[in-house]
């Protein structure tokens, strides 16, 4: 993740890859379609995780420099083990202190990051600092409340068993950026121009319940942190209840769940 004090537990790149990285790859291309960046100049992926979006940018624009930045050293290490086009660079750094000169980039994007940054406005202002005049900033966050089925199944089911799950869910789902206009207000506060908002929906396809459940248990993010702290008997009760919700009256097997993100772009003066 991106900033000191983040509430996103980011310790294992391989675990993150199966938990969320396989889905951020699906989200990356429509985010870039929406971004509509200028055709030249360096682009920065802030809070790049294991590199899905940065790698998509490097493939789309092989003649320009692409940098992926994340505070998590394990995530950056995992990103460097994957496909590495010549124009792609990964670096461990804080979103609040990007390693670029003022106005040295054509644009910057933060995908599924700002919910977990202690001061999103400071991070967005830092993205603005490194972006040239008429450059573009883009951000996407999950629509936790209304558009993220795989997490609603988990948190709502767990909350019916453990009040601690309800508290964790409510903290995650009630943040300012969980609201439809949350990112818009953030971009307005940063003084960006020509702000536009949209939503992007992908599908998360699971082969069976184990394919859904095991990635949640990898210790990454709020879900992983919550499960890691549970007593074995309570965790087993929650697993069985979530399995019932996953099956929804049918046999175990394939499921396809929608996942919607809010996405906003704005231009630097």
Q: How many CA atoms lie within 13 A of 209 on its CB side?
A: 15
Determine the angle formed by the axes of helices 149-159 and 232-247, rounding to 10 degrees. 130
Across residues 223-232, what is the average pLDDT?
97
Are 34 and 198 in contact, with CB atoms under 8 Å apart? yes
**In the predicted structure, residue 134 carries a pLDDT above the cut 60:** yes
3-state secondary structure of 229: coil
| CA–CA distances in Å: residue 176 to residues 116, 184, 203, 217, 223 | 12, 11, 25, 27, 19
Q: Specify if 235 maps to a domain.
A: no
Q: Specify if 116 maps to a domain.
A: yes
pLDDT at 178: 86
pLDDT at 4: 42
Q: Specify if 231 maps to a domain.
A: no
From 116, 169, 173, 108, select the one nearest 146 (Cα to Cα).
173
129 token code pair: 């600092």
Across residues 101-121, what is the average pLDDT?
97
Of the candidate ranges 27-31, 169-173, 192-196, the one whose mean pLDDT is the lowest: 169-173
User: Tens digit of pLDDT for each residue in 51-90?
Assistant: 999 999 999 999 999 999 999 999 999 999 998 999 999 9
Number of structural domains in the chain: 1
Q: Specify if 197 maps to a domain.
A: yes
How far apart are the C-alpha atoms of 128 and 260, rounded to whole Å?
A: 26
**In the predicted structure, residue 38 carries a pLDDT above the cut 60:** yes
Rounded to 5 degrees, what angle do the CA atoms 19, 22, 26 make?
Answer: 135
Q: Specify if 251 maps to a domain.
A: no
Across residues 112-137, what is the average pLDDT?
97
Across residues 157-184, what is the average pLDDT?
95
The residue assigned the tokens 């972006």 is: 131
Q: Strands, E, within 29-156: which ranges?
A: 43-46, 66-70, 88-92, 105-111, 131-142
How far apart are the C-alpha atoms of 111 and 228, rounded to whole Å?
A: 25
Give phi and psi for 124, each to the nearest 5: -65, -40
Q: Specify if 225 maps to a domain.
A: no
From 245, 256, 248, select the one nearest 206 (Cα to Cα).
256
Q: Is the dihedral of CA 7, 5, 1, 76 positive or negative?
A: negative
Across residues 123-140, what is the average pLDDT?
98
pLDDT grade for 187, boundaries at 50, 70 and 90: very high
How far apart are the C-alpha atoms of 77 and 73, rounded to whole Å?
A: 6
pLDDT at 7: 62
Q: Specify if 246 maps to a domain.
A: no
Q: Specify if 161 maps to a domain.
A: no
Mean pLDDT, rounded, of the chain: 96
Q: What is the DSSP letter of 18?
A: I
Count the residues in the chain: 269
Across residues 152-173, what is the average pLDDT?
97
Across residues 184-200, what is the average pLDDT?
98
**In the predicted structure, residue 5 carries a pLDDT above the cut 50:** no
Domain with 188 in it: 13-148+175-205+260-267
pLDDT grade for 6, boundaries at 50, 70 and 90: low
Please give the distance of CA 212 from its chain centroid, rounded to a whole number: 18
User: Tens digit of pLDDT for each residue in 196-209?
Assistant: 999 999 999 999 99
CATH number reported for the structural domain that contains residue 19 in this entry: 3.40.50.150
Rounded to 5 degrees, what angle do the CA atoms 119, 125, 131 make?
Answer: 145
pLDDT at 69: 98
User: Tens digit of pLDDT for each residue in 235-260?
Assistant: 999 999 999 999 999 999 999 999 99
How far apart are the C-alpha atoms of 69 and 123, rounded to whole Å?
A: 12
What share of the chain has pLDDT > 70, as a percent?
Answer: 97
**In the predicted structure, residue 23 carries a pLDDT above the cut 60:** yes
Rounded to 5 degrees, what angle do the CA atoms 212, 10, 238 make?
Answer: 35
**In the predicted structure, residue 212 carries a pLDDT above the cut 60:** yes
């Amino acid at each position: 993740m991106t900033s000191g004090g983040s509430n996103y537990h980011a310790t294992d790149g391989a675990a993150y890859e199966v938990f969320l990285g396989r889905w951020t790859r699906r989200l990356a291309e429509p985010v870039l379609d929406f971004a509509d960046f200028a055709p030249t100049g360096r682009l920065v992926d802030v809070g790049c995780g294991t590199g899905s979006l940065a790698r998509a940018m490097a493939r789309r624009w092989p003649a320009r420099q692409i940098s992926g930045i994340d505070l998590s050293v394990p995530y950056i290490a995992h990103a460097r083990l994957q496909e590495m086009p010549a124009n792609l660079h990964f670096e461990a750094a804080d979103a609040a202190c990007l390693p670029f000169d003022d106005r040295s980039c054509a644009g910057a994007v933060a995908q599924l990051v700002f919910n977990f940054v202690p001061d999103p406005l400071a991070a967005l202002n830092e993205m603005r600092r490194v972006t040239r005049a008429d450059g573009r900033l883009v951000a996407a966050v999950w629509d936790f409340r209304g558009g993220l089925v795989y997490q609603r199944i988990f948190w709502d089911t767990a909350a019916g068993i453990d009040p601690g799950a309800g508290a964790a869910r409510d903290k995650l789902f009630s943040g300012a950026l969980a609201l439809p206009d949350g990112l818009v207000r953030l971009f307005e506060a940063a003084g960006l121009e020509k702000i536009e908002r949209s939503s992007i929906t992908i599908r998360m396809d699971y082969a069976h319940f184990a394919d859904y459940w095991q990635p949640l248990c990898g210790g990454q993010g709020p879900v992983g942190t919550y499960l890691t702290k549970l007593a074995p008997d309570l965790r087993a009760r929650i697993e069985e209840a979530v399995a019932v919700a996953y099956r929804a009256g049918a046999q175990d097997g394939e499921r396809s769940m929608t996942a919607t993100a809010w996405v906003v772009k704005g231009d630097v003066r």
